Amino acid sequence: MATKTVLEGVRDAMYNEMVRDERVFIMGEDVGARGNVFLITQGFMDKFGRQRVIDTPLAEASIVGVAIGAAMAGMRPIAEIQFADFIYPAYNQIVGEAAKVRYRSAGGNSCPMVIRTPYGGGVRGALSHSVSVEALFYHVPGLKICVPSTPADAQGLLTSAIRDEDPVMVLEHKKTYRLIKGEVPDGDYTVPIGKAAIAREGKDLSVITYGLMRHFAVEAAEKLAAEGIDAEVVDLRSIRPMDRETVLASVTKTRRALIVHEDNKFGGVGAEVAAIIAEEALFELDAPVRRLCGPDVPAMGYAKEYEEAFMPSAERIAAAMRDLAAY
């Protein structure tokens, strides 16, 4: 077991897979000479050469489009979008092409590629370095979406994503990169895509969340434990496929569900989780399903006050949990 940051988990997953499989290569803005804006791939170009660590122009549609072609031709590309905020030009490539390759060709072709991108706020990233994009993609059949929140999950899920036979998006919350440290099992470590984790066991209510919010939710739950409220925290880890069983088992146990995400509320991942609970576990519910999410405003502002107003905090999550527990 080694203690790593999330950033190191991401780095080790890519490094190990590039060592293990020559088909794996990285392309993106500043991934080579600069070693990525967060220094994740620092030294990669020296180690693996310019053929496998490719600096691209500022052209996201091309980054993903080229990666799709390479994947269909037998490679294992990791396409990096420098910030999730820049992913929109690639939307057509991801949704219109990558997600449909296998279906369109009746299984004759596949598109084994990874699109990884840092997302989320809380780092004074302002309007174009704070966005959460998961809801724009999780509607689309044919895409898998991972949202690791711990170093082990970051490494394990990214490893699984690189080995997957279909396109996988790995959304890494940029605030967790250096903030969150944790142990990662040694050796060839993978985490199955589509499997949630119980971040904290409890019996009074379930908090269903992912990404950075998992850590805030656990912090809030520990705070509430002192007040006699025993909350369970479910970390989805994968948004699609979504682990319905774990969600439903938790809600069946606690009978109360609070969904927390940083992405804004309307049509967010929480809407789907709430719908699953309503469809499958109505008669287990002892309280309305609640959501605590970012506000429905166009972006997270730069000012600290704007950022704090946008991001759910441990305090706000604790308040929502308290409220639901008392219902």
Stretch that binds other proteins, among 84-92, 153-161, 233-241, 285-293 (CB under 8 A): 285-293
Residue 22 interacting with other proteins (CB under 8 A): no
283 lines the binding site for other proteins (CB under 8 A):
yes
Quote the CA–CA distance of 181 and 311 in Å, as a whole number.
21
Query: Can you give the chain as a three-state secondary structure string?
Result: CEEEEHHHHHHHHHHHHHHHCCCEEEEECCCCCCCCCCCCCCCHHHHHCCCCEEECCCCHHHHHHHHHHHHHCCCEEEEECCCHHHCHHHHHHHHHHHHHHHHHCCCCCCCCCEEEEEECCCCCCCCCCCCCCHHHHCCCCCCEEECCCCHHHHHHHHHHHHHCCCCEEEEEECCHHHHCEEEECCCCCCCCCCCCEEEECCCCEEEEECCHHHHHHHHHHHHHHCCCCCEEEEECCEEECCCHHHHHHHHHHHCCEEEEEEEECCCCHHHHHHHHHHHHCHHHCCCCCEEEEECCCCCCCCCHHHHHHHCCCHHHHHHHHHHHHCC
Choose one: 188-196, 216-224, 231-239, 277-285; the region binding other proteins (CB under 8 A). Answer: 277-285
Q: Which is nearer to other proteins, 7 or 251 (CB)?
A: 251
- Asked if 256 and 327 touch (Cβ cutoff 8 Å), the reply is yes
* 327 near other proteins, rule: CB under 8 A: yes
* Beta carbon nearer to other proteins, 252 or 313: 252
| Residue 245 contacts other proteins per CB under 8 A | no
Quick one: 133 or 257, whose CB is closer to other proteins? 257
Is residue 228 a contact residue for other proteins (CB under 8 A)?
Answer: no
Contact between 103 and other proteins per CB under 8 A: no
Considering the complex, what minimum distance in angstroms separates the CB of residue 260 from other proteins? 21
Reply yes or no on whether 129 is catalytic: yes
163 vs 255, beta carbon nearer other proteins: 255
Q: Which of 100, 181, 255, 265 binds other proteins (CB under 8 A)?
A: 255
- The stretch near other proteins (CB under 8 A) out of 100-108, 132-140, 151-159, 275-283 is 275-283
In the complex, minimum distance from the CB of residue 210 to other proteins, in angstroms, rounded to a whole number = 26
Minimum CB distance to other proteins, residue 269 (Å): 23
Smaller CB distance to other proteins: residue 73 or 275?
275
> Binding to other proteins by residue 322, rule CB under 8 A?
no
Whole-number Cα distances in Å, 79 to 40, 42, 60, 143, 299 = 14, 16, 9, 15, 25
Q: Is the dihedral of CA 157, 6, 145, 69 positive or negative?
A: negative
Interface residue with other proteins, options 30, 55, 222, 284 (CB under 8 A) = 284
282 binds other proteins (CB under 8 A): yes
In the set 140, 287, 299, 314, which binds other proteins (CB under 8 A)?
287
- Binding of residue 326 to other proteins (CB under 8 A): yes
Report, in Å, the least distance between residue 224 CB and other proteins.
16
Which are the catalytic amino acids? 129
Applying CB under 8 A, the residues found at the interface with other proteins are 255, 280-287, 326-327
